[in-house]
Amino acid sequence: MSITAKDPEKRPLLALVDQADPPDVAAYERGGGFRGLRRVLSGLSPAELIEEVKNSRLRGRGGAGFNTGLKWSFVPKDSAKDRRKYLVANGDEMEPGTFKDRLLVEGNPLQLIEGMIISAYAIQASHGVIFLRGEYHLGLERVRRALAQAEAAGYLGKNILGSGFDFELIAHPSGGRYICGEETALITALEGRRANPRTKPPFPQVSGLWGAPTVVNNIETFCNVPHIVANGVEWYLGLSACEDGGTKLYGVSGRAKRPGVYELPLGTRMGVLLNECAGGMQDGYKLRAFLPGGASTAFLGAEHADITLDYPTPEKAGSRLGTGLAILLDDRASPIGMLRNLEHFFAQESCGWCTPCRDGLPWVEKLLIEIDEGRGRPEDIDRLEDAARMIGPMGRTFCAHAPGAIAPLESGLKLFRRDFERAVGLKHGVAA
């Protein structure tokens, strides 16, 4: 379920989203589509465009939250004709509890395409790829249809709108691994090799796909770009309820009355998302805790149920905004069972490249199974805490998969300590 906003001024990302029949080129143009691209190609320089996006304070919507324009500025300044560069949309979206990008590619793929053409002009990329989760069959079909429509209308290919700028864009279905959502693993997969992450530096903006400068951004990030360019930086900043710009696609999954995706000002409070948009908890259920931004973020307790959903505030509370899709834990569900389910996913989706991740996560899952099924021992809690300390810190693995996997466990061991103690036969820390 999703809420499709009808006010294009305040809810631009979902204004033209139609899951039954996405807009064709003519309908997209009537709704203001390609206005941003026409402005760019009418005389805006790549440097001026990058500066506008930087000043809009658009932060990456895939989870990292890095300033998008600043990321683009790291790409070498050669023209598209002098040096091949690549632009990639990350639509792998295998983060449990996250389903916003699917809505965008199925409901209005032309918005994504326009955003990528503008972004390609900014970094002077000649080739682009929309990298989609392999299970998104409908999204892939609609994206490919939209690509053909855009090319037929002169928005893609050679000499776009007579500007002299060339950009080729294709859609590519993922092989279906969670690790492909990590940008360097995604690039490796595009090269036809096993999707293992790479060490940094060099960063993809300097040496990425086939050694060429490459920018990878999330699908939602690209969908913001046309609106910034068409309506201006001040307008975009005015959409937000915090220092960073724009709206955000927030989501709710779990025992809410109306789970789904909602476009709201960035910096909206969790209470507004849960109670006003999602209708509150289902009758007979109470909120016990939640993951604010997908499965790889830390649990926050019910006392944070009205936290501001911007980038810095959840970090101060001990978690992250992540993808902005909240997973609810109600008072009837087992937190140990939920953690067991999450760690099973992360263990099986490890690429196997790093020892702490490859061997540590299955060990964590095994301990959680024993505890959840009543065979746990008091010392298993200490072992889980040791595993979290050894696997979790950034820098011990090639990518953020292991730290993300450990985030719900580490926070869960603190927040649900009594549940773990009861499960292993302890009472207030003493063997029963």
For residue range 332-382, what is the model confidence (pLDDT) as tens digits?
Answer: 999 999 999 999 999 999 988 888 889 999 999 999 999 999 999 999 999
Give yes or no for a contact between 246 and 309, defined as CB atoms under 8 angstroms apart: no
Domains of the chain plus CATH, in order, are: 25-238 (3.40.50.11540), 250-330 (3.10.20.600), 335-431 (1.20.1440.230)
CA 85, CA 148: separation in Å to the nearest integer?
22
Q: What does the pLDDT read at residue 2? A: 46
Q: Are 221 and 60 in contact (CB under 8 A)?
A: yes
Do 68 and 246 form a contact (C-beta atoms < 8 A)? no
Name residues of the chain where pLDDT drops below 50.
Answer: 1-6, 428, 432
Label residue 268 left, alpha or beta by phi (over 0 means left) and psi (-120 to 50 means alpha).
beta
> Phi first, then psi: what are they for 88, rounded to 5°?
-130, 130
pLDDT confidence of residue 1? 44
- Cα pseudo-dihedral 106, 229, 187, 358, rounded to 10: -70
Residues in the chain: 432
The first and second tokens of residue 120, run together, are 């390609």
Check: CB of residue 314 under 8 Å from CB of residue 321: yes
Strand partners, 249: 263
**The pLDDT of residue 79:** 79
* pLDDT value of residue 74: 95
Task: Tell me the per-residue pLDDT of 130-181, one tens digit each, with 9 for 90 and over.
Answer: 999 989 999 999 999 999 999 999 999 999 999 999 999 999 998 778 888 8
pLDDT on residue 238: 96
What is the pTM (predicted TM-score) of this model?
0.93
Long-range contacts, 144-148 (Cβ 8 Å, 24+)? 144/171, 145/109, 146/22, 146/109, 146/110, 146/113, 147/109, 147/113, 147/171
Looking at residue 128, its amino acid is: G
- The pLDDT of residue 7: 59
Q: pLDDT value at position 46?
A: 96
pLDDT at residue 343, rounded to an integer: 96
Tell me whether strands 430-431 and 260-265 are parallel, antiparallel or unpaired: unpaired
Cβ atoms of 274 and 16 closer than 8 Å: no
What does the alpha-carbon distance between residue 155 and residue 149 come to, in Å, rounded to a whole number? 9
pLDDT the model gives residue 3: 46
Tell me the CA distances in angstroms from 305 to 82, 242, 244, 287, one per residue in order. Answer: 52, 18, 22, 8
